[in-house]
Amino acid sequence: MSKTPSSGSILLRRAARRRLGLLLPGIITMSLWQVCEALVPVAIGIVVDVAIIPLSVPALIVSIVGIGLLFTVLSLGYRFGARFCNSAREHEAHALRVEITHAALTSANLPPDRASGEVLSIASADADTAAQSFAQAGRGIASVLGMITAAVFLLIADPVTGLVVLIAVPIGLIIVALPGRSVSAKANAQLEAVARAGRSASDLMHGLRVIKAMGGEPWAVGRYRHTSDEAANAGIATGERTGRLAGLGALVMSLVLAIVLIVAGLRLIDGQLSVGALIGILGMTAFLTEPMRALAEIVGLFAQSHGAAQRISQLLTDIDGAGAAPTTAPAATIDIDDEKISVRGWAAGEGRTVDFTTQFGSLTAIVVEQAETETALITALAGHARSTGLGQMLVSPHTVDLFEGTIRSNITMILGAGDAPVAPEVLTASGVDELLGLVDTGLDHRIQELGGNLSGGQRQRVALARALHADPQVLVLHEPTTAVDAVTEARIADRVQDLRSSRGNAATIILTSSPAFLAAADSVVFVPDTGPVLSGKHAELLAAAGASAEAYRNAVTR
């Protein structure tokens, strides 16, 4: 676990190494099963030969006992072999999932081009597909052993016929396998078309309210019908191709059987072959196609597993790299001492830098016109916060993420069990008290996955309560109340200011353009697109003269 696998093959090799304890017994028992399957037609031939044709009762009894034994080994072999391989697969898939999520959540930073949706798909689907290789390894190796058993039997039973079978069957399979690639490409295209239709349906349903509010039903049905028809047409084409390939397979194997039938029949007439061997050889010929076909299929599936393993190792390497590589020059230098937090050298575009200080016990509001400048400050603050403890500094993100649990667990961020109390001042300051009035169970009201059962304003209030509850020495908030109505927002702003200043040694920085917070702030820093940076009280800035002050009035007037 200590070293990140740098390629898909290395990841798969590591997987095999760490699951060897399950994999090895799995492969051995699976092979036992496959060998027994190969012996069933041989057994039928022997029974007919030694018991039924000579009409020998003792031989019949021995035969039946033999069949019973054969099937017992066969059945147990599959049962435990498949279980071992499956357990290896499940354990590895779980281990990969855990590894991916741990890396994604604890690394310093995800590479920016990795959306959470992609990580999600790698952690769920790709982890499964990569681990699938164990099931394939078990089946594949068992198939090879089954074929070797069959070959040995054939050569012992009759070298001439055996050789014919061993040459004719692979040739037949190659003939069938040649067009197989184009069919599997078609089948993949069809699956992709079905998945597209699914995505389209899901997209339309997520936008259902928008469609209904605008009368977009005919548009939506038209769009979906188009995707669905494409999927149906792809399905028909694939079905026909797959059928043609299967038909070709049936034809080729029948021809092989006919050839072997002639050779074996003639050998029997010559007295070179027993009846039992004839049955065994012909039954085996039909049997041989099974493991061979399985093997061909497994090669294709293994390519998929390898692709998935490749994506996983790529993601892990990316995360590793992002963590190790020194980030580009920080956009601001941040210092916290006993009485203040100071930000120096905040790059505010056009070679301009901004310095500001927030004393403990006071609240600074920052108004920024340019989004990139704002992002630069937040990134710098968040970067600094990570190197401190939660009690010292917290940068609460603007995007509200809620987690399955209760309102309480979302505020305390004790996500498992736990009954930590939440101070009533936090609830009133964040406006969560009003929300609690609407639900029967108060703080223990259930929050669904992603907080789907709360409105935007309610979510923001829970997130604000979370930040206030954490009660860090330095709290940074970013547009905390964009979805809260004006009246409530004004009340929240005043109470947040009261709550934070009641804690004498705490500093609060709020990036916002909301007049409510600006009015409540002890000082305001305004960074316009161009021109000088302003700082002072909200009322002073509103009354000031000059281009920057004009820009400020524009930015904060609602």
Partner 1 sequence: MSASAEQTDQTTLSIASRRRSFAHLAPLLRLRWGWLVVLVLAGIANAGAGLVGPWAIGRLVDVLPAGAGSDVVIECAIAVAIAGVVMALGTWIGAWALAHIAMPIVGDLRTQVVESALSLQSQRVESTGTGDLVSRVADDSRKISEAAAQVLPLIVESLLIVIVSAIGLSAIDWRLGLVGLVAVPMYWLTLRWYLPRSEPIYKEERAAFGRRAGRLLGGLTGARTLRAYRAEAGELDRIDAASGQARDLSIGVFSFLTRAFSRNNRAEAVVLSLLLIAGFVLVFSGQTTAGAVTTAALVFHRLFNPIGALVGLFDQIQSAGASLTRMVGVIDEASTSPRRSGEICINRPALMLENLWFTYDEDPGSSNHVLKGVSLRLEPGEVVAVVGTTGAGKSTLARIAAGLSVPSCGWAGLDSGTAASAGEVELTALPESVLRSHISMVAQEVHTFNGTLRENVALPVPDATDEQIAAALTKVGAGWVGELPTGLDTEVGDGGIRLSAVADQSIALARLVLADPDFAILDEASAEAGSAGAHVLEASARAAVAGRGALVVAHRLSQAETADRVLVMAHGRIVEEGTHEELVAAGGRYAQLWSAWSA
Beta carbon of residue 378, minimum distance to partner 1 (angstroms, whole number): 11
Identify residues 209-248 at the interface with partner 1 (CB under 8 A).
209-225, 228-229, 231-233, 235-236, 238-240, 242-244, 246-248
C-alpha dist (Å) from residue 417 to 405, 409, 414, 441? 9, 8, 7, 17
What is the spatial distance between Cα 313 and Cα 540, in angstroms, rounded to a whole number? 56
Beta carbon of residue 159, minimum distance to partner 1 (angstroms, whole number): 19
C-alpha dist (Å) from residue 430 to 246, 435, 466, 471? 66, 10, 9, 13
Beta carbon of residue 304, minimum distance to partner 1 (angstroms, whole number): 15
HSE at residue 430, side-chain half, CA atoms within 13 A, is 29
- Contact flag: residue 537 with partner 1 (CB under 8 A): no
Spatial contact of 246 and 254, defined as CB atoms under 8 Å apart? no
Q: Which residue's CB is nearer to partner 1, number 10 or number 177?
A: 177
Beta carbon of residue 142, minimum distance to partner 1 (angstroms, whole number): 15
Beta carbon of residue 457, minimum distance to partner 1 (angstroms, whole number): 6
Cα 499 from chain centre: 41
- Contact flag: residue 474 with partner 1 (CB under 8 A): no
Spatial contact of 343 and 357, defined as CB atoms under 8 Å apart? yes
In this structure, the strands spanning 446-447 and 405-406 are: antiparallel
* Part in contact with partner 1 (CB under 8 A); list of ranges 150-158, 174-182, 357-365, 409-417: 409-417
What is the spatial distance between Cα 241 and Cα 514, in angstroms, rounded to a whole number? 63
Identify residues 136-155 at the interface with partner 1 (CB under 8 A).
none
Identify residues 154-213 at the interface with partner 1 (CB under 8 A).
187, 190-191, 194-195, 197-213
Closest CA to 549 of 558, 475, 532: 532
Spatial contact of 173 and 293, defined as CB atoms under 8 Å apart? yes
- Contact flag: residue 40 with partner 1 (CB under 8 A): yes
Q: Which residue's CB is nearer to partner 1, number 118 or number 425?
A: 118
What is the spatial distance between Cα 182 and Cα 188, in angstroms, rounded to a whole number? 10
Identify residues 269-308 at the interface with partner 1 (CB under 8 A).
269, 275, 278-279, 282-283, 286, 290
Strand-pair partners of 534: 526
- Contact flag: residue 60 with partner 1 (CB under 8 A): yes
Cα 463 from chain centre: 26
Q: Which residue's CB is nearer to partner 1, number 198 or number 339?
A: 198
- Contact flag: residue 15 with partner 1 (CB under 8 A): no
Using CB under 8 A, pick the residue from 48, 183, 301, 423 that binds partner 1. 48
Binding map of partner 1 across residues 367-396, x = CB under 8 A, - = no contact: x-x-x----------x--xx--xx---xxx
What is the spatial distance between Cα 176 and Cα 174, in angstroms, rounded to a whole number? 5
Beta carbon of residue 275, minimum distance to partner 1 (angstroms, whole number): 5
DSSP string, 442-456: GGG-EE-GGGTTS-H
Beta carbon of residue 340, minimum distance to partner 1 (angstroms, whole number): 22
Beta carbon of residue 220, minimum distance to partner 1 (angstroms, whole number): 6
Using CB under 8 A, pick the residue from 304, 314, 317, 488 that binds partner 1. 488
